[in-house]
Amino acid sequence: MTALDLSSPVAVVGTGTMGQGIAQVALVAGHPVRLYDTLPGRARDAADAIGARLDRLVEKDQLTGADRDAARARLLPAENLSELADCALVVEAVLERLDVKQDLFRELEGIVDDDCLLATNTSSLSVTAIGGALRVPGRFVGLHFFNPAPLLPLVEVVSGFATDVTYATRAYETARAWGKTPVACADTPGFIVNRIARPFYAESFAVHEAQGADPATIDAVLRESGGFRMGAFELTDLIGQDVNESVTRSVWESFFQDVRFTPSLAQRRLVESGRLGRKTGQGWYDHRDGAERPEPDTAEQRQPPAYVVAEGDLAQAGDLLALIREAGIQVRDEDEDNGTRLVLPSGGQLALADGQTSVEFRDVVYFDLALDYRKATRIALSASQDTSPQTLAEAIGLFQALGKKVTVIGDVPGMIVARTVARIIDLAHDAVAKGVATEEDVDTAMRLGVNYPLGPFEWSRRLGRSWAYALLDDLHLRDPSGRYAPSLALYRHAHASDKREGTAS
C-alpha cells in the first residue's frame, strides 16, 4: 500500500512539543491537519505557535510565503474529537500513561472510519498493549518521531503484535513521503534506539561510579576519541535526567529487570535531588549563570620514547604504527601474528583495551579505542597503582608526540570507548537475532536517532567479527553479574567467523 494521499486529512491529538512538531511535519508535506487537545484553547494556541514557526521558515528562505499561507489555511484546531471523523490518520502524542492512551483510542474508534490509520508516538509504552484495547487493532501502529520532529529525520515505525502489515506499510510509506527516514521495527521495549542506546549512558555512569574518571573527562574521551557528538553526562543534562532515567527504568522493567539494562544509582540520586540538568540549572554539570565548565583531566607534557617495539600489526589500532613513524619515532617490528601491544623502552607494554585490567599484568598500560586514531584529538590511558611511573610517562609522551591530548583514568576494564562500543554492538546483534529490525535499519536508526558516528554493524565490521565478543567475555570474567555476558547472537557471530577462517574456537 502506498502513502496517504495528500488530500487526506491528518489529525494530531495532544498539542505539546511533540504534537506540534508532528503536526508541522504533516502540514508542510501538504496534508490538511486537525489539532485537538482536551484542554480548552490549547489547540488554538498550538495552531498559532505552528504558524509562527512557519513564519520563521519563510524568513530563513526554507518556505515560500505562498506555501506558508496555504499551510496555514490547511491547519484547523478542533474543539471536539468528533471533528476528526473524516481523517485518514490520527497520531496521538498525549500523556505517557497506558490507560489514558487506551481510553483515547477507544473513543476515536467510535468516531473515525474503520480504515483510518491510528498511531501512537509513545517512546516507552507497548504498542501492542495500547492497541489491545481496540476493536480493530490491526490498523494500529507506533510512529515514534524524535524531538524536534520537524528537524530530526528518523521515524521508528513500530508494529504491535496485532498490527496488520498493510497498515504498517502505509505508515512507513507515509513517513517517507513526509521527507522522513523511516525504519521498521517490532514492538520491543525501547524499540530500536532506546533499546540499543542504553550502554552509551550506562557505561559512562559505571566508570564514574567506579571512580575511574569524572564526568567532564569521560565526556571528553567519548567526543574526542570515540567520535560521539556529545558525551553521556552532557547529553543527559540536555535531555533531562528525569526523562533519561525514566526511559532507562522503563526498558529495564519491561525486560523483567534484565541486568544489562540496570539503571544507575548515581543518576537516581541526581533525580531525587532535583538536579535534572539544564532545565533546573544543575545536573552532572552546573549550568547556572556564571558557572565554569570543568576541564577534563589532561596529562602534563612528557618526553616521547625514542622507539617502540611492535608485536604484530596492532589489529584495530593498526593506524597508530603509521602515526608513530610519521612522528619520527622508530618502530621496531617483531614477527607476531595478531599482536595488539607495543613494548616501550622501559620494558613495559602498551596494549589496546581488551576487557582486562592493568593490575593483572606486570607493567602494562592500556589505551582506549578510537573511532579514527589519526583524527582523534584525545587518547585515554589506564594504569594500576603497580604500573611503573616510567612506563606510564613513556606511554603519555608517545601519544603526545602524535599530537594527542592524553587522559589517564583508573584501572577500568574495557576503559570508556571500547566497553561502550562493544556493548552497543552486542545489543544490536541481539536485537536483530530476535527479529526487532534489520541490520540496515538498526544502523540507520542509531546514526540518525542519536547521531552515532557509525552504526553498530558498521562498527562491528570495522573492528572485526570477534572483537566485541572477546572484550565482553573478558569483562564478564571480571564482573560476573551478567551485565557484560555476551549475547548468544554475538557468540554465534564471532564463532562463525572462527569456523570459516579455520581457527579453533
Q: pLDDT of the chain along its 505 residues, tens only?
A: 699 999 999 999 999 999 999 999 999 999 999 999 999 999 999 999 999 999 999 999 999 999 999 999 999 999 999 999 999 999 999 999 999 999 999 999 999 999 999 999 999 899 999 999 899 999 999 999 999 999 999 999 999 999 999 999 999 999 999 999 999 999 999 999 999 999 999 999 999 999 999 999 999 999 999 999 999 999 999 999 999 999 999 999 999 999 999 999 999 999 999 999 999 999 999 999 999 999 999 999 999 999 999 988 888 998 999 999 999 999 998 766 666 789 999 999 999 999 999 999 989 999 999 999 999 999 999 999 999 999 999 999 999 999 999 999 999 999 999 999 999 999 999 999 999 999 999 999 999 999 999 999 999 999 999 999 999 999 999 999 999 999 999 999 999 855 544 443 3
Q: What is the pLDDT of residue 497?
A: 54
Backbone angles phi, psi at 78, to 5 degrees: -115, 140
For the chain, the 3-state helix, strand and coil shares in percent, each to the nearest 5, are 45, 15, 40
Backbone angles phi, psi at 159, to 5 degrees: -95, 120
Q: What is the pLDDT of residue 340?
A: 77
Q: What is the pLDDT of residue 334?
A: 76
Q: Quick one: CA dihedral 249, 252, 254, 256, positive or negative?
A: negative
Calculate Rg over the CA atoms of the chain: 26
Q: What is the pLDDT of residue 362?
A: 87
CA nearest 123: which of 38, 185, 173? 185
What is the 3-class SS of 124-142, one letter each residue?
A: CCCHHHHHCCCCCHHHEEE
Compute how many other C-beta atoms are within 10 angstroms of the C-beta atom of residue 265: 9
Q: What is the pLDDT of residue 213?
A: 98
Cβ-Cβ contacts under 8 Å for 269 (sequence gap 6 or more): none
Q: What is the pLDDT of residue 28?
A: 97
Give 334's strand partners. Answer: 311
Helix 488-501 × helix 417-433 angle, to 10°: 90
Backbone angles phi, psi at 290, to 5 degrees: 85, -10
Enter the C-alpha cell of residue 67.
506555501
Q: What is the pLDDT of residue 315?
A: 87
Q: Report, as residue numbers or ranges, the catalytic residues.
A: 123, 144, 156, 194
Q: What is the pLDDT of residue 505?
A: 32
Q: What is the pLDDT of residue 338?
A: 60
Q: Give the HSE-up count for residue 449: Cα atoms under 13 Å, Cβ half-sphere.
A: 25
Enter the C-alpha cell of residue 199.
550502554
Are 117 and 127 in contact, with CB atoms under 8 Å apart?
Answer: no
Helices (H), ranges, 178-305? 193-196, 198-209, 215-224, 232-239, 241-254, 265-272
Q: How many residues does the chain have?
A: 505
DSSP per-residue codes, 395-420:
HHHHHHHTT-EEEEE-S-TTTTHHHH
Q: What is the pLDDT of residue 100?
A: 96
Q: What is the pLDDT of residue 501?
A: 44
Q: What is the pTM (predicted TM-score) of this model?
A: 0.94
Enter the C-alpha cell of residue 407.
587522559
